[in-house]
Structure 1
Amino acid sequence: MTRTLRSGSASGGGALYVFAVCRDLDPDSLGRSPGLTGEEPPRVLPLGARLSAVVQTVRADDFTDEVWQERLADQEELGRYARAHHSVVTAVAGSAPTVPLPMATLYHGDGSARAALASQAARFDRALDRVAHHAEWGVKVFLSPSMARDHTSREVAAAAPSDRARPAVGSGLAYLNRRRNIQENRQRRHVEAGLRADAVDEAFRRVAAEARRLRLHSASASEDQGVQVLNATYLVAEARSAELHRLAESLREPGDVRVTLSGPWVPYSFVGEVEG
């Protein structure tokens, strides 16, 4: 949950920006990261015996509701904040189990942040148990452009009635036959694509601890790569990363299906039950 500050609250003063909650974090893992270039560099805020938060003091006036809404409308500025946020989270996740919090998770100071986050210690512990020694990997599957074109060609061919027993030009029967053939080919293509996506997804799920299927990208976003039939993310134990790569390579053999593997990433997709 994004926590911006109400206009005028702590005006001119500082606010505490929270990047993530970690377990057994070594403060040196922060290095010299500037974070959001706030009033001071990122630091560690202890929450208990083993939990700590990665925080940074920022100007409260930079994170009011009004200012944040303006930032959301400025893609360049929003991208800068997103990269800075991700850079800090990635740095600490490389040395300790980490639950990243959404951008613009803010509190009025150390005390309020510590009280709010420590009250959710049990939820953080569950999420940290889940992602410890795991990473997130993205998998996308595309039907090759040639296969997509082949489907289209077959659809057009099926829509054209044969010379034999062809209905009279302009007849309602000819129109209905064309429409039925187009619909049947579209349904067949949909079923075939679904079966291919399911087979790849099932193979990766056998390696993963958890998995999520995401919304497919639009045709315009992936048309140069082919038709996307699977967009998924998997939580995979570090000890099985080599197995994951072997599986991806085996599925990249020449054919009409292309599999792309990306990662490893901080497991953002598998800590959704925890909010700052």
Structure 2
Amino acid sequence: MTESKYTYCIVDSTDEDRETLGTGIDEEPVSVLVQDGIGAVVNDCPSEAYDTDDRAQAEMWVKQHNRTIERAADALGTPLPMTFDTIFEDEASLRTFLTEHRSQIRNRLNVLAGTEEYGVRIYCDEDVLLEETEPAPDSTGARDSGMAYFDQKKREKQRQRERAERTKERFQTYFPRIEAVVDEIMEEELDRGGDDRGQNVLTASCLVADGEIDGLKRVLSEIDDEPGVDVVFTGPWHPYSFVGSLGTATKNHGT
């Protein structure tokens, strides 16, 4: 029976290594399948997707997936990670995928080589944020309860509009300052829920070359020193956010 290929990541490699990467999901031996100077970190697997209602089992599989990518990165350099449960029907389909996407894969491997990813979240205290606009007058004093209710709703909507406008202004101020000191930056979705640190005005993933982090730290320190502003800085990680899409030629999942 032809074995399917569970694929963890793609790396720059010319050697089919079956020794140094240990085991992956369900303790299957991991190897590197090489096609035209591009390696896929894989193990043999059944054709069915790794799907379970057992939460503990699912978490274990994901941990094994991520740890295998980490080992591959340590041994072979910056990888292009594949999503959990990426399975190719057989070795031939995986080789076809690598050949058809060779130019795109090679480009991303070259761009991401020697880089790390950092996360940035910037929060602003809501009182400070809304100090930047004139408060709406309170006209409820002589109103009956019905009119007071509608006035209150009107003020709440006005406050929401002002919050959105001030958030956009802060984003437009901070984003270019950060962009100027990183290799690439990717805007991420803002946290719309409540947070003790205030209103989330910017969330981004940043790609930074090894040894070039000082510029980003300096800019974030300057922003963090502003009144009512809190910067959350995380990383480094392998640059997963900057891999891009490599197509959907897998049996169960694309990237």
TM-score by length of 1: 0.75
| Structure 2 CA distance for aligned equivalents of residues 229 and 236 of structure 1 | 22
Partner SS for 1:225: coil
Q: Do structure 1's residue 37 and structure 2's residue 26 form an aligned pair? A: yes
| Structure 1 CA distance for aligned equivalents of residues 20 and 31 of structure 2 | 10
User: What runs of 5+ residues in structure 2 fail to find an aligned partner?
Assistant: 251-255
1:126-150 CA distance string (max 9 Å, x none): 2212212222211111123xx4599
Of stretches 28-37 and 253-262 in structure 1, the one that deviates more from structure 2 is: 28-37
Q: Do structure 1's residue 87 and structure 2's residue 71 form an aligned pair? A: no
1:99 maps to which of 75, 80, 88 = 80
Specify the alignment match of 1:3 in structure 2: none
Q: 1:134 to 1:202 in 2, by over 3 A?
A: same
Q: 1:32 to 1:91 in 2, by over 3 A?
A: closer
Partner SS for 1:262: strand
1:64 maps to which of 37, 48, 51 = 48
Q: 1:216 to 1:29 in 2, by over 3 A?
A: farther
Q: Do structure 1's residue 161 and structure 2's residue 116 form an aligned pair? A: no
Q: Do structure 1's residue 111 and structure 2's residue 92 form an aligned pair? A: yes
Q: 1:108 to 1:178 in 2, by over 3 A?
A: closer
1:2-48 CA distance string (max 9 Å, x none): xxxxxxxx5xx743211111114777798454221344x21111111
1:203 maps to which of 153, 157, 177 = 177
Partner SS for 2:25: coil
Letter in 2 for 1:34: T
| Structure 1 CA distance for aligned equivalents of residues 212 and 227 of structure 2 | 26
Higher helix share: 1
1:158-191 CA distance string (max 9 Å, x none): 57437xxx4443474x555444433333322221
Q: Do structure 1's residue 245 and structure 2's residue 225 form an aligned pair? A: no
| Structure 1 CA distance for aligned equivalents of residues 18 and 224 of structure 2 | 36
Specify the alignment match of 2:155 in structure 1: 181
Q: Do structure 1's residue 76 and structure 2's residue 51 form an aligned pair? A: no
Q: 1:28 to 1:257 in 2, by over 3 A?
A: farther
Measured after TM superposition, the shift of residue 56 of structure 1 is 1.3
| Structure 2 CA distance for aligned equivalents of residues 43 and 29 of structure 1 | 4
Larger Rg: 1
Partner SS for 2:213: helix
- Whether the 8 Å contact between 1:211 and 1:232 is mirrored in structure 2 is yes
Specify the alignment match of 1:132 in structure 2: 113
Q: Do structure 1's residue 258 and structure 2's residue 199 form an aligned pair? A: no
1:215 maps to which of 183, 189, 197 = 189
Q: 1:150 to 1:142 in 2, by over 3 A?
A: closer
Q: Do structure 1's residue 18 and structure 2's residue 7 form an aligned pair? A: yes
User: What runs of 5+ residues in structure 1 fail to find an aligned partner?
Assistant: 1-9
Give the aligned length: 246
